[in-house]
Amino acid sequence: MRKMSGRWLRLAGIGLATAAVLALTVGFGGEREVQYDAQPESVAHSKEMYYFSSVDSMVATSHLVVYGTVSAVGEGRFTGADEDGSTTSQIRLRNVTIAISDVLHNPKLKPIPPSITLEEEGWDSQGRGYIVNGVAWSEVGDTGYFFLQHSFGTNTYSLTSSDGRVLSKDGALVPSNIERELAGQITTTQPDMFVLDVYKASQDYASGLLGSSDTVGSQPDSTEGAGA
Amino acid sequence: MRRTIIAVATAILTIAVAASPAAASHGNKANAGPPDNAQQDVQTNKLTTGGTAAYSHGRAQLDRTAITMSTGGSDLHVYDASYEASWYGQTTCTDRNWINWKCDHMDIKFNTRRMSGASTSKWQSLGCHEFGHSGGLGHRWHSTDTNDNSCMQEDIWPRYLDTHDIDAVNQLF
């Protein structure tokens, strides 16, 4: 009798342990609720639509350039679900609210509200936070220049490229993608000259002296051979 | 005996943890990897025609290196979908090997929204580029690839890893 009780106790213990593990891994409802990282844990590397050789061309290609301060951040919409509705491929964008101090470039003269929403990446379908091409997540209090393109069909914006955020910190300019050559140009520019450069580029664009950049996608196909 | 075992185990663990993840940087800093081993399983997820061309070509390019590609779901997952994002393709390390901190799992995503209407050649270039990231390679520009024949360039569309890229990946293994 004592032997049987011990066996049943062991079986019950194993059962409880299994149930606990299952509950912890898949949740009581059978579906795991996605937890979104508070901080990014990896860096994504992307081939982008634009590659700028100058701040002027980035201004001319942007729909809006503002100077402002990040006042709030939060989880945003999902994008990239598969056509059959499966969500393993999707990502979740991050909403960044920018309180605008100054509008430097607005070629279509659209009414710009006191604050706008910038969408940045983000989290993958498992809630793992990541940054793209070295651009750190925007944080509340970040102040600087934002080079933006309007997101079609929404009232939101995205950075024109990974170079598209230039923060002002301790009297210096901090580029968003330090890997690119444009970062060197930005860091060697005095902040008071930078704003004048942006204004001038905007005026040159308005007067037709400066055109927007073509996308990388519009570059011709390559005809090179393999392995040279 | 027990002390010896503990000492050996500690030494192995120390070496494994201290081993810095080598980066096939060849003049650049970005890399999604490097991968934690030279045998990479790859799994596709209902790719479009363009995505399939990118996957096939990219996989074949990485196979030219010391990395051996095979079909399976444990290392690389490839997706294509319409992303509201300003990139054509993206590679992310989603899980790291806890011993050496190299990349254990990666996701490759192709953006059908931005690649809409692109030629097969461009899809192949994109596949080569993203699979190159999964092999530990970073971006290149004209200043680091003066003959413009590496698919790791950001602003043009070569379709192949060049010998410099292949050497850089091979140095990792």
A76-91 mean pLDDT? 86
Percent of chain B with pLDDT over 70: 81
Backbone angles phi, psi at A10, to 5 degrees: -65, -45
Contact B86 A124 (CB under 8 A): no
Among A121, A157, A218, A90, which Cα is nearest to B114's? A218
pLDDT at B153 over 50: yes
The amino acid occupying position A215 is T
A13-33 mean pLDDT? 56
pLDDT at B10 over 90: no
DSSP string, A148-201: EEEPTTSSEEEESSTT-EEEEETTEEEES-TTSHHHHHHHTS-HHHHHHHHHHH
pLDDT of amino acid B99: 87
Backbone angles phi, psi at B133, to 5 degrees: -60, -40
Contact (CB, 8 A) for A190 and A171: no
pLDDT of amino acid B22: 35
Integer Cα distance of B121 and B144 in angstroms = 23
Contacts with A46 from chain B: Cβ below 8 Å: 85, 87-91
Q: With bands split at pLDDT 50, 70 and 90, how would you rate the model's confidence at A222?
A: confident
Sign of CA dihedral B126, B131, B134, B138: negative
Between chain A and chain B, how many beta carbons pairs sit less than 8 Å apart? 152
pLDDT at A223 over 80: no
pLDDT of amino acid B133: 96
pLDDT of amino acid A45: 95
DSSP string, chain B: -HHHHHHHHHHHHHHHHHS----B-TT----S--BSSSEEEEEE-S--HHHHHHHHHHHHHHTTSSPEEEE-SSSEEEEEE--SSSEEEEEEEEEE-TTT--EEEEEEEEETTTSTT--HHHHHHHHHHHHHHHTTB--B-GGG-TT---TTBSSS---S--HHHHHHHHTT-
Contact B109 A80 (CB under 8 A): yes
Sign of CA dihedral B166, B30, A80, A176: negative
Q: How far is Cα of residue A17 from the mean position of the Cα atoms in its chain?
A: 41
pLDDT of amino acid A152: 86
Among A45, A37, A38, A39, which Cα is nearest to A134's? A45
Q: Is A23 helix (H, G, I), strand (E, B) or coil?
A: helix
A106-157 residue pLDDT tens:
999 999 999 999 999 999 999 999 999 999 999 999 999 999 999 988 999 9
pLDDT at B56 over 50: yes
Q: Greater confidence, B33 or B106? A: B106
pLDDT at A6 over 80: no
Q: Nearest-CA distance from A51 to chain B in Å?
A: 6
pLDDT of amino acid A88: 87
pLDDT at B25 over 70: no
pLDDT at A93 over 50: yes
Contact (CB, 8 A) for A34 and A40: no
pLDDT at B8 over 80: no
Q: Nearest-CA distance from B4 to chain A in Å?
A: 35
Strand order in the sheet with A42-48: A130-132, A42-48, B87-96, B103-111, B76-81, B39-44, B68-71
Which of B29, B107, B162 has the CB atom closest to A124's CB atom?
A: B107
pLDDT of amino acid B2: 59
Beta strand B76-81 with B103-111 is parallel
Integer Cα distance of A198 and A57 in angstroms = 10
Contacts with B105 from chain A: Cβ below 8 Å: none
Q: With bands split at pLDDT 50, 70 and 90, how would you rate the model's confidence at B21?
A: very low
Q: With bands split at pLDDT 50, 70 and 90, how would you rate the model's confidence at A100?
A: very high
Among A116, A117, A121, which Cα is nearest to A92's? A121
Contacts with B64 from chain A: Cβ below 8 Å: 227
Contact B109 A216 (CB under 8 A): no
Among B34, B107, B30, B110, which Cα is nearest to B75's? B107
Q: With bands split at pLDDT 50, 70 and 90, how would you rate the model's confidence at A81?
A: confident
Integer Cα distance of B106 and B113 in angstroms = 22
Shortest CA distance from A126: residue in chain B: B94
